[in-house]
Amino acid sequence: KFAALSSILPSSSSSSGSKGGTTSGFQESTAAANYMTDFQPLSPLIPPLFSDTLAVIESRSRDAEGIFRISGANPDVVRLTQRYNQALVNNRDNPNRERVLVQVLQNEPNVHVHASLVTCILRDMPEPLLPFILYEHLLRVAEEPASSKRLLYRSFLKMLPPGNYEMLVRIL
């Protein structure tokens, strides 16, 4: 778990699902944390690290085996995250910063490290991507006949917090 990643995730209005006592293999600099509030990603509800990492996975996943089944090495995930955060700080005023940040991610050759980073971001969210409060509703939808599931799943998606919805759509 990477507690420092929580500063780049969409904030949640409810703290009931937040996790306490996280441990981190690194500490994010205050400058990087402050910069994250200024940085404007493609969608303001999706952390740039999340979106950029998924883009790298998509571009490299054709020949990779078990992208999310095989874990990347934890030290490599920490190192990649540190390099990304440092690039955020160093390129704050660079008009090509998005390209620089993607290049930092692309310099990591192991797609499993990228997949592990996405997993860590999702795991470190203050509340799960599919919030606990909607769990019972999702179970009820799953028990419905196939003919009505599509409409019920759409209603379920409309109940998601906006940041969670955007991240889920980006994953799919």
Weakest mean pLDDT among 1-15, 114-128, 134-148: 1-15
54-106 confidence digits (pLDDT tens)? 999 998 887 788 888 888 999 999 999 999 989 988 988 888 888 898 899 99
Tokens 């390209």 sit on residue: 99
More confident residue, 2 or 149: 149
Whole-angstrom Cα distance, residue 129 to residue 122? 7
- Average pLDDT of the chain? 76
pLDDT band (50, 70, 90) for residue 43: low
Tokens 């799943």 sit on residue: 153
Check pLDDT > 80 for residue 34.
no
Whole-angstrom Cα distance, residue 136 to residue 163? 20
